[in-house]
Amino acid sequence: MQHTLDNKVVFITGSSQRVGAATARLLHERGWRVIIHYRHSELAAHALVDTLNQVRPTSAAALHADLDAVHLFSQLAEQAYAIFGRIDALVNNASTFYATPIAEANIQQWDDLFSSNARAPFFLSQALRPYLQQQDGCIVNIVDIHAERPFRDYSIYCMAKAALQMMTYALAKELAPFIRVNGVAPGAILWPAADTVSAINESQQQEILSSVPLARSGSPSDIARTVAFLLDDAPYITGQIIAVDGGRRHTLGKE
């Protein structure tokens, strides 16, 4: 379904690939202008922007930033606003994910996981607040079902996502009535790349899928459509976390 928007602009962190890119494509298809944030994936980000601009000229832009650089959030917000002259929505999608068994976990991992999954979304929301408020805007945080039900050996990641979930609830109250704040909590959507530190082996994948009532993994488009719903079709929804997990959240700990 095509939506006609008044040139609305969404800023999506970590959106050059995977779930973030799928969300950018769908929102662009629905008429949004999109700002594709990236950290390392410069080629993928610019390729996506070029593809979207071929469909609709001057409707997409790439913006590089290291979200660990806490002193740059105000500057990043100003840069994002300057691209199209408005910001209507922020999707806090960028995330770091890997195991931290208690016997091996260290301070650097704690800082890394909390930085991407909690600190950056909070301070970017803070920095973009004036622009979002001008447009009665919306923030969508990509949380995780494991913010409520822990994933073995991933304690720091789960704790960071739990902080992001509570941030969703807290900012929904604090930023009302001008800015809505919601979250999407994915389950088994897209496995980490096999050659990365966050890789999950085939045995772990099968164990996870065995606990999914729908007996299959989801797809990035499942998350993208839920984000689009919260942005486009849910003007009276705020302070909510929608689980997109095939029912798995309700089976965790009950296998």
Confidence of residue 3 (pLDDT cuts 50, 70, 90): very low
Please check the confidence at residue 195 and state whether its pLDDT lies above 80.
no
Q: Write down the H helix ranges in the chain.
A: 18-29, 42-55, 73-84, 107-114, 120-134, 155-174, 202-209, 220-232
Q: Which residues are catalytic?
A: 157
pLDDT on residue 255: 39
Distances (CA, A) of 85 to 79, 116, 132, 243: 10, 26, 12, 33
pLDDT on residue 174: 98
Q: Would you identify the CATH topology of the domain 9-189+220-244?
A: Rossmann fold (3.40.50)
Instruction: Give the pLDDT mean for 10-24.
Output: 97
Model pLDDT for residues 113-156, shown as the tens digit of each residue: 999 999 999 999 999 999 999 999 999 999 999 999 898 899 99
Model pLDDT for residues 55-85, shown as the tens digit of each residue: 999 999 999 999 998 789 999 999 999 999 9
pTM of the model: 0.91
What is the distance between the alpha carbons of residues 142 and 41, in angstroms, rounded to a whole number? 19
**Any idea where the domains of the chain sit in the sequence?**
9-189+220-244
Please check the confidence at residue 178 and state whether its pLDDT lies above 50.
yes
Among residues 123, 219, 213, the alpha carbon closest in space to that of 164 is found at: 123
CB 15 within 8 A of CB 52: no
What is the distance between the alpha carbons of residues 157 and 161, in angstroms, rounded to a whole number? 6
